[in-house]
Each structure stands twice: as structure tokens, then as C-alpha cells.
Amino acid sequence: MNTLSTFPTDSRAKGDGWKAVVLLTPFQFMFGLVYAWGGMAPAIHAATGWSASLLDLMFSLTPLALLPAVLAGGRLVRRFAPERILRWALGCFAAGGLLALTSASPLRFAIGYAILALGLGGGLSTVASIAVIHRVAPRAQGRLSGALLAIYGLSASISGPLFLWLGHHAVWRIALAIVMAGYGVVAALSLTVLRSGPAVHHAKQDQASQVHPRGSWLPAAWNMVLLIATVPFGSAVFAAIGRIATGHGHAVGLGVAGASIMSAANGIGRFAGGVLADVSSIRITWCVVLGLAACGYGANLADARFAAPVLLLGFAALTGLSFGALAGKLPALAAHTSPSDPAFVFSIYFGTFALGSFGGPFVSAELGLPVTMSVFGSMTLAAFIACTVLAVRERLPAKKDR
């Protein structure tokens, strides 16, 4: 009947979706600079003498600023085309970079770079980018959004070495300015092409229908609880994988290898999480992702006892995969929770993810790494068990809707 007529439309939509991914890639490189901070900070410390604790604080400020930014983006995308919000994000990036790089004050640098450029700009950009994908290819938004978030996470593997290479030929401020300006110019050019695309249809919704996920807030609240229970474990490991390695008796080099594997797994997990959310039920997706995280925690416990390199590397890979998949599945999760307003619900989920990302390293700094790993690892294991029990109970009587 309509099968033959709808297939070309779906195929064309996926093509438009991948085109949008390419055009949105510069924005992922711009705001993915946050993940390059670990490689950039030592060079900045050597040049400025700013303390290591101050540089760590600058890293933590970005996910903290992401929370209000993505929530604001979720509301703005209801009223404005996502391309306009991307222009605002680019403006935040430019203004924050200018503020940060024209002063020797570490406070101004933190406000400009960590908060305004990467935090506020990154939050607006993320919501707007997902809204573009939802508009052009709603049936493939999981894999396409996952691909975007994967680029966001993996971009540091290019940005960090590029900054260090430029730093050998110029002072660090000039090197960072070149990187930021290069990404900003390419993003501005991409926006000129995105603006020529179809206009966003802004349907007016009454107050009662704006955000009522599946008839109530309970599914959304449950998903937020799962994120709070699991994201801090991954972010704490990201911040301390090197110390975990040496604490278990491994050489420093193995910790570096673990960090590299975890970063690569994070990018792969973001794409895989989106694909999995497209082809499987939300409940099963949660079980798979949390199962990976729980296995990672188990590998960490085993490595603490036996100090086997394969266990440490497995722990890094599993934790990176699960942490990335948690982010990659969020767009599809939001569309499932609230089909009428996925962008706003995504902003809530991503804001929760950002808050959890801030909480992991913060708690670790306050309570110490061993206590943090035990608390957040146990929370992750409990979340996995709860999801598994619910999935089994849901499928025992009959296979209900996905």
C-alpha cells in the first residue's frame, strides 16, 4: 500500500539527517573542547603558574553551567528555529573566548572560557543540534543524534594535540585563540547552509499538552533517577582513571592507556547508545547500558584485588562505553517519553546528565576516591538490578508495548 511510497521519503530523510550531522560537526568540535582540557591544562599550568586545583575547578564549571543552559535551550527551541539558537551559541562561544583570552586574570578566563563559551554556548548548541536532527530525520534520530554526541566526545582527540602543536610555535593564548577561531569560522559557514533548509514548524501547544510524558511525570522522573544513580560513577572514573591505575599498583603508562581507551569507548558508546535506542525498547536499552556499567564496576573490584592489566583496561572500556551510551540514548529516550515535546524533555535529561557529570569529580574531591567509587559503584549496581527486575516483571505476563 504505502510501503513503496514511504520508503523513498524515509531514505531521503536519512540522507538529509546525515547531511545535517556533517553541517553540525563544527559545533561539536567547538564545544567538545571541554574534553580536551585534561591535555591542555598542564601546558597552561606551566605557562601561567595557575594552581592545579584552580585548573580542575575550571573543568568542573563547564558541566555546572550546562545545566541551566540546556534547560533554557529546551524552552527556547519551542519558540525559535534551532538555527537561530545555534547562532546564539556561536555568539556565546565568541564572546566567552574574547573575554577569556584578552585578560591575564584566571577568574575572567574561567568565566569566559569555562562558563560562557563552553558551558552556556555548549548547552544551547546541544539542544538546538538535537532539534535539527529531530526535524529532518525523526525516525533515525537515535543513531544520528548518537553520532553527533560521539563527535562531541571524540573531538578532543584532535583538539588537544592541535592545541599542543600550536603551543610549540606560539604562546598558549595565541594557540587557543587559533583553535577557537578556526572552529568558529567553520561553524559560521555551516550555519549559512543550515539556514537554507526547511523552516521549523512551531506548533502552538496549550499548557496542558506541553510536557506530559506518557500521561504523567513518573517515567521522566524514573529516568532522571537512573541518570543520577549512574552518571557520577562514569564521570568520577573519567577524572581519576590515572590515579585508579596507580592506586591498584599499575605503572603510570597503563593509566594513560586506560584513559585513551576510555575516551575512545565513550565516543563509540554515544553512537551505539543511539543506535540501540532506535532498534530496541527503552527498558532493554537501560538494562544493556547499566549492565555494561555494572560489569565495569566488577572489573574495577577484581583489578583492585589482582592488579591485572587486562582488568584495568576492561574496566576503562566498559565504563567508557556505558558512560557514552548514557548520553547517546538521551534523544531517543526523550522522544519516547514525550513525543509531543522531545526537545524540552531532552534538555531536562541532558541537564541531569550534566549535573551528574559535575557531581562525580566533585564528590571525589570532597570524600576521596575509594569512598566515591564504592558509593557510586553500588548505586550503579542497584540501578541495574532494579531495571532488570522491572524488565522481567514487564515481560512475564505478556509482551506489552515497547
Report the alpha-carbon distance of residue 292 to residue 116 in Å, rounded: 34
Residue 249: pLDDT above 70? yes
Asked which of 73-77, 102-106, 210-214 is least confident by mean pLDDT, the reply is 210-214
Could you tell me which CATH number the domain at 215-395 has?
1.20.1250.20
pLDDT tens digits, one per residue of 37-95: 877 888 888 899 988 778 877 877 888 898 899 999 988 988 899 999 999 999 999 99
Q: At the topology level of CATH, where does 15-196 sit?
A: Growth Hormone; Chain: A; (1.20.1250)
Residue 99: pLDDT above 50? yes
Q: What is the pTM of this model?
A: 0.81
pLDDT of residue 1: 36
Report the alpha-carbon distance of residue 378 to residue 233 in Å, rounded: 9
211 falls in which pLDDT band (50, 70, 90)?
very low
Same CATH fold assignment for domains 15-196 and 215-395: yes
pLDDT of residue 216: 56
Output 194 or 70, whichever has higher pLDDT: 70
Listed by start position, the domains of the chain span: 15-196, 215-395
Report the alpha-carbon distance of residue 100 to residue 112 in Å, rounded: 5
Residue 124: pLDDT above 90? yes
358 falls in which pLDDT band (50, 70, 90)?
confident
pLDDT of residue 10: 57
